[in-house]
């Protein structure tokens, strides 16, 4: 007789909790996530080229990224309130969204600098990516009960690699035109849709389709344990996307302030350093996933946010110092700033109603990304008033708030449902 999950010690693996093929499924879903999410910062990665060719001010460049954030919020809220993520086929939602994201991203190359066309296209891209990220997490939860932290950590690591991809392509050299970056990421999104269509199937733990319940979101917001997990996520998100958006700009400015000749490659070095720092976060996601499954979700997220907030402050204080030192701290920051992200999603999937996991994840990401639209736009304003040192210090306020929320969650009785009792 196969022992039931309740009959084995916490953390043990049984055939019931570890279905065959789950790691292959995780690898395929993660590969699909890399391709689709590479479109998110495709415009930000080529911002200097767009500024020159389209004659854009910094505020206009920020708008191209904020439009994606707001589109993602709108799409995720629509998924959460309508329950589409739990009513329709998760695979179908992912495939259609990735294909549409490719179209919205690719059309940026024919707008000829007209923001009346470019901004709506970036908004549409964000809406489409809302059908990729939360459904991707739901696909993973359908394959994992044990090791859920490392599974979602791997998926968020894939998202991180996708985010870094356009910076890497842009930093390879001046010979790479900005349209090449956009079209490369467009091809990645199309490949993502193909991977899910051809090779990914629903996992044995995926909940059956739920009925539409427009009042579900309000009930979720009133649940104290889910609310605290979301508060931790909000503190994390205040910092994350502002850091990802403005890190290349900060690095370029810091390298020039240190005496590096702008014509000698300060911008190119900044792009490559940003790509390294952001992609290094994938290692943090996986390491935090392993730790959270064995030590606890609340302890792991609190420690990661503390390190991330300290790194933000340190980076600001080192502005204009030796490029090697600034780059080293930036890489540490890149690892810490995303390491905890998956654990908030894992926490919500463990605390939410079983049949509403997809909607719970969509609601969490929608509200978190709405906050990022504020911090992304606010950072350059603060930089002008407070310098980079003061501006980056304000990003640490989010992690400080998140640490408090997760330590409060740790003391609640519902926390026993996290990480097989490891809180």
DSSP one-letter string for 130-197: TTTHHHHHHHHHTT-STTHHHHHHHHHHHHHHHHHHHHHHHHT-TTS-HHHHHHHHHHHHHHHHHHHH
Q: Six-digit token pair at 3?
A: 């022992």
What's the pLDDT tens digit per position in 368-408? 888 887 898 899 899 989 999 999 999 999 999 999 999 99
- Radius of gyration of the chain, Cα coordinates, nearest whole angstrom: 21
342 contacts 155 by C-beta, under 8 angstroms:
yes
Total Cβ atoms within 10 A of residue 212: 11
Q: What is the pLDDT of residue 152?
A: 80
Under DSSP, the state recorded for 417 is G
| Cα–Cα dist 63/226, whole Å | 32
What sign does the CA torsion over 265, 266, 267, 271 have?
Answer: positive
What's the pLDDT tens digit per position in 262-298? 665 777 788 889 888 988 888 888 888 888 888 889 9
What burial class does residue 411 get, using C-beta atoms within 10 Å of its C-beta: 0-12 exposed, 13-18 middle, 19+ buried? exposed
Q: What is the pLDDT of residue 217?
A: 60
**Which superfamily, per CATH, for 20-421?**
MFS general substrate transporter like domains (1.20.1250.20)
End-to-end CA distance of the chain: 30
What backbone phi and psi angles, to 5 degrees, belong to 211? -85, 155
Q: What is the pLDDT of residue 326?
A: 94
106 contacts 147 by C-beta, under 8 angstroms:
no
146 contacts 9 by C-beta, under 8 angstroms:
no
| Cα–Cα dist 300/418, whole Å | 12
Q: What is the pLDDT of residue 314?
A: 96
Q: What is the pLDDT of residue 1?
A: 33
| Cα–Cα dist 342/159, whole Å | 10
Residues making up the chain, counted from first to last: 423
Q: Taking Cα atoms as reference points, which of 149, 417, 398, 396 lies closest to residue 284? A: 149
What b/e sequence results for 286-313 when a residue is b if at least 16 CB atoms lie within 10 Å of its CB, and e otherwise? bbbbebbbebbbbbbbbbbbbbbbbbbb
| Cα–Cα dist 85/11, whole Å | 29
Under DSSP, the state recorded for 206 is P
What's the pLDDT tens digit per position in 154-171? 888 887 778 777 767 666
Instruction: Give average pLDDT by consecutive 10-residue segment, the chain, 423 residues.
Output: 35 58 92 90 80 83 84 85 75 94 94 91 94 86 82 81 72 67 91 94 75 58 85 94 89 88 72 86 86 89 96 95 94 93 84 72 81 87 92 95 94 82 69
| Structural domain spans, the chain | 20-421
| Cα–Cα dist 330/312, whole Å | 8
| Cα–Cα dist 272/63, whole Å | 23
Q: What is the pLDDT of residue 11?
A: 40
CA angle 378, 382, 385 (to 5 degrees): 150
| Cα–Cα dist 255/269, whole Å | 9
Phi-psi bin for 176: left (phi > 0), alpha (psi -120 to 50), beta?
Answer: beta
Q: Six-digit token pair at 37?
A: 């999410």
* 3-class DSSP assignment, residue 144: coil
Contacts (Cβ under 8 Å, ≥6 apart) of 216? 83, 353, 356, 359
């Amino acid at each position: 007789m196969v022992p039931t999950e309740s009959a084995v010690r916490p953390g043990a693996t049984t055939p019931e909790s570890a279905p065959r093929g789950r790691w292959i499924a995780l690898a395929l879903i993660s590969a699909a996530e890399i391709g689709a999410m590479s479109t998110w910062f495709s415009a930000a990665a080529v911002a200097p080229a767009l500024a020159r060719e389209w004659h854009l001010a910094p505020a206009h460049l920020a708008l191209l990224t904020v439009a994606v954030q707001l589109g993602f919020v709108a799409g995720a809220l629509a998924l959460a309130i309508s329950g589409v993520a739990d009513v329709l086929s998760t695979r179908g939602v992912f495939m259609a969204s990735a294909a549409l994201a490719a179209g919205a991203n690719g059309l940026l190359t024919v707008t000829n600098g007209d923001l009346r066309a470019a901004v709506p296209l970036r908004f549409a891209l964000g809406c489409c990516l809302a059908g990729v990220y939360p459904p991707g997490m739901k696909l993973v939860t359908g394959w994992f009960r044990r090791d859920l932290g490392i599974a979602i950590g791997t998926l968020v690591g894939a998202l991180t690699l996708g985010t870094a991809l356009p910076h890497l392509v842009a930093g390879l050299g001046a010979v790479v035109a900005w349209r090449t970056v956009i079209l490369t990421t467009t091809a990645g999104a199309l490949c993502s849709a193909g991977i899910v269509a051809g090779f990914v199937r629903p996992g044995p733990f995926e909940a059956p389709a739920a009925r539409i319940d427009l009042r579900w979101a309000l009930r979720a917001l009133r649940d104290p344990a889910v609310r605290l997990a979301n508060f931790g996520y909000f503190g994390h998100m205040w910092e994350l996307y502002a850091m990802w958006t403005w890190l290349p700009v900060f690095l370029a400015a810091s390298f020039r302030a240190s005496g590096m000749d702008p014509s000698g490659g300060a911008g190119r070095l900044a792009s490559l350093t940003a790509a390294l720092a952001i992609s290094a976060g994938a290692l943090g996601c996986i390491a935090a996933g392993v730790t959270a499954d064995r030590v606890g979700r609340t302890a792991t997220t609190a420690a990661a946010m503390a390190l991330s907030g300290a790194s933000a402050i340190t980076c600001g204080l080192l502005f204009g110092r030796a490029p090697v030192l600034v780059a080293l701290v930036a890489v540490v920051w890149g690892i810490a700033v995303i390491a905890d992200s998956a654990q908030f999603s894992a926490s919500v999937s463990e605390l939410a109603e079983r049949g509403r996991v997809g909607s719970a994840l969509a609601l969490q990401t929608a509200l978190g990304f709405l906050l990022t639209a504020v911090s992304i736009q606010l950072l350059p304003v603060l930089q002008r008033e407070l310098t980079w040192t003061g501006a980056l210090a304000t990003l640490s306020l989010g992690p400080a708030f998140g640490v408090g929320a997760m330590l409060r969650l740790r003391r609640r009785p519902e926390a026993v449902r996290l990480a097989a009792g490891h809180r």
